[in-house]
Structure 1
Amino acid sequence: MDVGEEPLEKAARAGAAKDPNTYKVLSLVLSVCVLTVILGCIFGLKPSCAKEVKSCKGRCFERTFGNCRCDSACADLGNCCLDYQETCIEPERIWTCSKFRCGEKRLSRSLCSCSDDCRDKDDCCINYSSACLGEKSWVQETCENINEPQCPAGFEMPPTLLFSLDGFRAEYLHTWGGLLPVINKLKTCGTYAKNMRPVYPTKTFPNHYSIVTIWLTAKYQGLKAGTFFWPGSDVKINGLFPDIYKIYNGSVPFEERILAVLKWLQLPKDERPHFYTLYLEEPDSSGHSHGPVSSEVIRALQRVDNMVGMLMDGLKGLNLHRCLNLILISDHGMEQASCKKYAHLDKYLGDVKDIKLVYGPAARLRPSDVPDKYYSFNYEGLARNLSCRELNQHFKPYLKHFLPKRLHFAKNDRIEPLTFYLDPQWQLALNPPAEKHCQGGFHGSDNVFSNMQALFIGYGPGFQHGAEVDSFENIEVYNLMCDLLNLIPASNNGTHGSLNHLLKNPIYTPTHPKEVSSLVQCPFTRTPRNNLGCSCNPSILPIVDLQTQLNLTMAEENIIKRGTLPYGRPRVIQKNSTVCLLYQHQFVSGYSHDILMPLWTSYTVDRNDIFSTEDFSNCLYQDLRVSLSPVHECSFYKNNAKLSYGFLSPPQLNKGSSKINSEALLTTNIVPMYQSFQVIWHYFHGTLLQRYAQERNGVNVVSGPVFDSDFDGRYDSSETLKQNSRRVRNQEVLIPTHFFIVLTSCKDPDQAPSQCENLDASAFILPHRTDNSESCVHGKQESSWVEELLRLHRARITDVEQITGLSFYQERKEPVSDILKLKTHLPIFNQED
């Protein structure tokens, strides 16, 4: 035992003796290591440490310590790195790359990525290439004329995208275009209309409905459609939805909507739509809240411009920017609201508890007790009570069938019988508490007011390059989109072919409608003359001379035609109509045996023609080429306090001869006319027409009666005419509901009407009323109100054609599409006018 234990004891004693020195050595070694690390950080690793401390790049939400932090607690501690917001927080709420984000460490909560591997992951922000790789964005590239579609594999035809910016007033681009680089480039490089006319009332839903529902047409013809929040797309129409659609949710970010459409464009070929719609609520929302002239609207415009830029960059990234046809559009404009420009019905009616009013600039009135009193309510009496109540009254009450025909706002039971037309910038409410949009902005006014005009830009391989076109109505866009998609349009209110000049290669060639009723002959007869009960001035030629001078040869008729019908004879599209041509030396008429009056009369007023002041109110000559009717006799109208007759071709027109135009006194040149309307008719012919002829170097006039008793904007059928005839002195009389006037001259005022290369035209559809209360004429001279009335009731020539069953300009040599462009034109009224 002793021998065995000795070595252990010896070792223990030796170890105890060495302990102090061992600890000193170990302490020294540790001190050297620590000093080495510190010196390494200070000298060798200083740049790296400093970089980590100053930037959050690659450190977002990591609990690393230093001079600044990048975790969620740094905001409370106040020691965030300077780029914390841009690098760590903004990726959660923005959809773009920036210099702070390029090459970022992938963040799970970011909306899109700017990391180096984002292309492999297919989650790059739209502007990654331009922000991080130095490539040009779409807006930075120069304009290019895309002559042919350049589409990726799998796209057999260019898709079409209809993109609506709600409430984008046309004037915004005129005024603020310099702040909107993307939209301004689309305008410059594509096809741009300075104004696009909305439908009336100029509200969001009626106009979006009027522009589409092309997705139905696409589906019926084998194409697919995808819509993102287009009004009306989330309800069934004819039992159908678009192939892809979204239930409206205004909280969905604009960027998310654009990315969704870009994703749809990447779907497999058998799932991918051919037609797309996209909708943004701006700048409408900002316009309502702050008014159209506000910094908030400018910011909203810049925001939507960024969204359009995001779309274009996305299309470029998909190589679709030379393939897709884009239509950038809005539904209406915006007007500045003012509490001082609100009219109130209680001011005139007192108690208004029994009526309800749809407030605003296109107000409508109905009884409170609906439906019981809807049809029995005295709308006409209330309209009279509210008419002309004070000087400079800013609203006019209208029974809806008296509204200007160009508004097309009557033929529906959902439109109340009593409506109100408001001056620009004015609105109507029952009383002050019922005011809405008293501040900020509003819309809904007359669709020819300049501040109600909408945006239209077309861009892509289907559109003209760098073209600016005249204004047109949004009902024409449907046919345009059908042409871009090679679809056959459904029956619609547009005029197919009228926008051919917007397209590079129009696929539709319009033609004039065919005349469906053959002309009949109206030769002179041996019928004995009747006593018409007239008293003519003896200086007028005797009747026997009229028969002799109107017995014309074909050669003489051709000479007359060149002067009176320089743009061709109106064609009659009415079915089963019996019409003959009556030639006189100064005018030609299309006389209808069905209504016993001309459907139309045409004559030309040259610059130097003058009008006499003779009164021919009781002088008629019997036209022996047609059978006489009691409505052709002076005696028929005597002692009638309201109804008389008017001349279509004015007998006062003197074309370079001292002789009276006695041919205009023929019974085939008159129409039944209320005496109140004669005031308008006489002032137009005696004053305005002469002035127009001087200003335009001559003007051709076509005028005639209109029959639209069911106020649908289309000519009455023979059955409807019979049902609405009036009985006067035991005689059935057809009294026109309106009269139309079409004025045509040369666009070049140095050319006379017979020499026109390009035409300019104006049309009017004037309501034929028993009084002139519409114009509040009491104590006024005609010069102060007649021309204003004409302007209010101006119309498209297509409106005249639809309501008369006539077709104009069929003998012109221009392409029919150019004629349709003329027919659908309607001038915009400046707010200051």
Structure 2
Amino acid sequence: MDDISLRDLENDEDDITGDYDARNYDRQILLQHDLSEKLITDESIRRSRKKQQKKSVGFAPESSYRRINDQPESDNDIEVDAELHLRNLKTKKRRLNCLKGFLFSVLCILILSIFGAAVYVGVLKNKFGLLHPSDGKQGQDDTSTTPDPVAAKTLLSNGTTNYYPTTICISLDGFRPDYLTPELTPAMWEIFTAEYSAPFMYPSFPSVTFPNHYTLATGLYPSAHGIVGNTFFDPVTGEEFDYHNDTSSLQPKWWGGEPVWATATKNGLRTGVHMWPGSEVPWGNSEPEYVDEYNGKETLTHKVDRVLNWLDEDFTTRPELIMAYVPTIDSIGHKYGTSGPQINQGLVQVDGLVSSILDGIVARNLSSIVNVVVVSDHGMASTSNDRIIFLDDIISLDAFEHTDGWPLFGLRPFAENTTEAMYNAILQARDTISTQDNADSLKHWQVYTTDTMPAEYHFAGSSGGMYQDRIAPIWLVPEPGWTMTTHARFKEMHYDYHPKGLHGFNNTHPLMRALFIATGPHFPAGTSVEPFYNVELYDILCKSLGINGAPNNGTMAGYPKLLPENWIDPYPFGSAMPDSAANESSTSNESDGSTSTVSDPEQTTTADAPQSSSTTWMAYFEDRLNNLTSSIDAWLDKIGNSDDGALRL
């Protein structure tokens, strides 16, 4: 056995190899491998199917998965089912990603919409004045978030000095718009015909100084701001308002609403107010930067210097709203009437005031920065000894506790005399007087209660405001040019009635009309606007300064409607003059030698008209149209002659 040869070993190896069937062995190994892999795959499919049923995703129908155990064996079974499963999973993932993208897009759009809406609402509120600047009452801790209205103001320059947009408003007390003529008032006539103006402006009722100046300042009718007359009684407090008594009349309790100087101050603007009625009232944190007390003896030259000196103030203290009161024409009208050399001289003087201010603006190169608005509070009507209504012929004043107003009368009966009883007594007296010789005077006065007051007065009843307690329950209102007094008072006048000019009558009457003209960057030249009530001036001034106003009775938001080309005055001046004006034969003007003769009540030129040659309304509109045409032609020529031919605004 030890001598086994190499050949023997090789034979034994051949025998072992011959007993091993390599092909069958490999086949068994492969079958076992396939079976194990098949079992693993079947288990994976079952688990996937079970998981799918739990989640109920449903991206592919269950029938799409092949039940391999129930199907004949195939070399491609495992590969095909795995690809289908993978494809379904990819579809599921892709759809989930699409859903996530969609939801993210919706969220972004929603956030942007909310942000955009917030910005839009903020802009609208600011535009329409629903957002008001800080009133300075915030604590020190939140000063960093307090809006600074000064920062929003537009900074301009005249070439050497910085300016903010500025508006000057001048009130010419008692100035009727028909006083404007090219001979007596050339500066204002130029504004009236070539710049920005209305044929006239309606005052508020009653057409007297204090109620209307405060209406101009607040945009509120007298019954809404509380100053319902130059004198009146308040039954709530038992006190009387008298504009002559500064101690009483300047108390804030009388003055409601928000004047434009207070609005400007709240918006971070500085203001200077010269003698404007109501400006001396203590306004707390909203008081003007500069306030000048009333001085009836002040010269017009000093007024001009005061306004121009404000324009020359340092940039840090210069007022941007300047308001000035000029009583010249009202004083002359009361003393001498509405015609004659005195009124003519007064017209020349106040036109010189306006001209000097305009010249000062040009000299300072401020024409593109400063607006000038010239207004009046009411008109004026001449009186006559032939146009007197005696109040004590109508009813005994002993029955009344208080009488308000003048030249119209508001009557407050004693407690034992009811309003209805007194009203009926006045009507009965009217019937009795109608049979007497002076019955003609009945045609020239009316009696109203607060319930029957005309709605156009906006004074009492449903059209009135919150201060109607201050309005007497009965009112006797004469026509313009007529006046009421008592026999005793007329005797004290030595039977020569004065004042020679009066106002306070129906605010829509031609003789009571007020003035409105304007010029400056805010007011387009060559523009005519429709007549409007003076409650609109407040918003006009606010818009010229770029600020939003407080709530008021205005309806035009600071922009009056343009005057139609075919507009015709329904009540042209001269068509409704006092009847006895026709009896005034002539008036000679020694100052200029002109004469105005009135012999027919149908004539449009009366003794109430200023003594100068004036154009008719038709001539006025023709003149304005020609002026506008010339301006357009010059503008077009300027465009055509420009170097680049571009339109420059």
Per the normalisation by structure 1, the TM-score is 0.40
2:451 alignment partner, one of 401, 406, 412:
401
Spell out the pairing of 1:245-324 with structure 2 (5 A cutoff): 245-324=291-370
Q: 1:350 to 1:475 in 2, by over 3 A?
A: closer
Larger RCO (CA under 8 A, 6+ residues apart): 2
Cα distance in structure 1, aligned partners of 2:357 and 2:182: 18
Cα drift, residue 344 of structure 1: 1.1
Q: Distance in 1 between matches of 2:556 and 2:547?
A: 12
2 CA distance for matches of 1:451 and 1:228? 27
How big is the shift at 1:302?
0.3
Instruction: Mark the CA change 1:228 to 1:747 in structure 2 (over 3 Å): closer, same or farther.
Output: closer
Corresponding position of 1:189: 194
Match for 1:171: what amino acid?
A: D
Mapped partners of 1:351, 1:330: distance in 2: 34
**Corresponding residue for residue 171 of structure 2:** 164
Displacement of 1:237 in angstroms is 3.7
- For the Cα contact (< 8 Å) 1:337–1:438, is it kept in 2? yes
Paired position in structure 1 for 2:375: 329
Give the alignment of 1:459-538 within 5 angstroms.
459-497=519-557, 499-501=559-561
Give the C-alpha shift of residue 257 in structure 1: 1.7
Which residue does 1:199 correspond to in 2?
Answer: 204
Aligned to 1:384: 427
SS of 1:188's equivalent in the other structure is helix
User: Deviation string for 1:127-180 (max 9, x for gaps)?
Assistant: xxxxxxxxxxxxxxxxxxxxx98744544532000011111111111xx33221
1:236 to 282, 305, 317: 282
Is the counterpart of residue 348 in structure 1 residue 348 in structure 2?
no
1:355: Cα distance to partner?
A: 5.5
Q: 1:165 touches 1:329 (CA, 8 Å); kept in 2?
A: yes
Whether the 8 Å CA contact 1:255–1:307 is kept in 2: the answer is yes
Pairwise mapping of residues 475-624 of structure 1 onto structure 2 (< 5 A)? Answer: 475-497=535-557, 499-501=559-561
- Return the letter of the residue paired with 2:173: D
**8 Å Cα contact 2:406/2:504 also seen in 1:** yes
Count of residue pairs brought into register by the alignment: 359
How big is the shift at 1:365? 1.3
Matches within 5 A, 1:28-43: none
Q: Distance in 2 between matches of 1:354 and 1:482?
A: 43
CA contact (8 A) 2:480 2:503 kept: no
Task: Tell me how far 1:431 sits from its aligned partner.
Answer: 3.4
2:261/2:286 contact within 8 Å kept? no
Query: What is the deviation of 1:395?
Result: 1.5
Matched residues in 1 for 2:561 and 2:397: separation? 55
CA distance in 1, matches of 2:425, 2:401: 11
Q: Which among 457, 467, 480 is matched to residue 424 of structure 1?
A: 480
Structure 1 residues 432 and 152, CA gap change in structure 2 (3 angstroms): farther
Deviation sequence 1:760-780 (CA, Å, 0-9, x none):
99xxxxxxxxxxxxxxxxxxx
Cα displacement (A) at 1:421: 2.4
Q: Work out whether residues 168 and 333 of structure 1, in 8 Å CA contact, stay in contact via their aligned partners in 2.
A: yes
Shift of 1:233: 0.5
Q: Secondary structure at the match of 2:273?
A: strand
CA contact (8 A) 1:357 1:429 kept: no
> Unpaired segments of 5 or more residues in structure 1?
1-147, 504-745, 749-757, 762-833
Partner of 2:505: 445
Cα distance in 1 for partners of 2:562, 2:289 equals: 29
* 1:178 matched to 2:180: no
- 2:469 paired with 1:413: yes
1:470 is displaced (CA, Å) by 2.1
Shift of 1:379: 3.6
Show CA shifts across 1:286-316 (max 9, x none).
1111100111000000011111111112212
Indicate conservation of the 8 Å contact 2:156/2:162, yes or no. no
Counterpart Cα distance in 2 of 1:330 and 1:464: 21
- Secondary structure in structure 2 of the residue aligned to 1:227: strand
Query: Which TM-score applies when normalising by structure 2?
Result: 0.51
Output the aligned Cα RMSD: 3.2
Contact 2:530 2:560 in 1 (8 A): no
Residues 387 and 312 of structure 1, relative CA distance in 2, 3 Å threshold: same
Q: Name stretches of at least 5 consecutive residues in structure 2 with no aligned partner.
A: 1-154, 218-258, 571-649
Distance (Å, rounded) in 1 between the aligned partners of 2:351 and 2:363: 18
Q: C-alpha displacement at 1:397, in angstroms?
A: 1.3
User: What is the CA distance between 1:254 and its match in structure 2?
Assistant: 1.5
Indicate the structure (1 or 2) with the bigger Cα radius of gyration.
2
In the aligned structure 1, how far is the partner of 2:384 from the partner of 2:405?
14
In structure 2, how many angstroms separate the alpha carbons of the residues matched to 1:398 and 1:433?
Answer: 24
Deviation sequence 1:306-354 (CA, Å, 0-9, x none): 1111111221222223321000111111100112211112213357475
Relative distance call for 1:496 and 1:156 in structure 2 (3 A) is farther
What do residues 71-102 of structure 1 show as CA deviations (whole Å, max 9, x unaligned)?
xxxxxxxxxxxxxxxxxxxxxxxxxxxxxxxx
Amino acid at match of 1:425: G
Contact 1:187 1:466 in 2 (8 A): no
Q: Summarize deviations over 1:20-74 as a string: whole Å, max 9, x none.
A: xxxxxxxxxxxxxxxxxxxxxxxxxxxxxxxxxxxxxxxxxxxxxxxxxxxxxxx
Q: Which of the numbers 485, 495, 515 marks the counterpart of 1:455?
A: 515
The 2-side partners of 1:313 and 1:488 are apart by 30
Counterpart AA for 1:363: F
Following the alignment from structure 2 to structure 1, what is the Cα–Cα distance between the partners of residues 403 and 485?
Answer: 7
SS of the aligned residue for 2:379 comes to coil
Deviation per residue, 1:486-517 (Å, 9 max, x gap): 111100000133625579xxxxxxxxxxxxxx
Mapped partners of 2:406, 2:419: distance in 1:
25
Q: Would the alpha carbon gap of residues 238 and 408 (structure 1) be closer, same or farther in structure 2, given more than 3 Å must change?
A: farther
Rounded Cα–Cα distance in structure 1 between residues aligned with 2:352 and 2:370: 19
The 8 Å contact of residues 333 and 451 in structure 1, kept in 2 or not, is answered as yes
- Code of the aligned partner of 1:399: T
Distance 1:349 1:363, change over 3 A: closer
Q: 1:439 offset after TM fit, Å?
A: 4.4
Percent of aligned pairs sharing the same letter: 31
Distance in 2, Cα, partners of 1:240 & 1:351: 43
Asked if the contact 1:462–1:484 (Cα under 8 Å) also holds between the matched residues in 2, the reply is yes
Contact 1:463/1:502, CA 8 A, preserved across alignment: no
- The separation in 1 between residues aligned to 2:401 and 2:484, in whole angstroms, is 14
Q: 1:456 is matched by which residue type in structure 2?
A: F
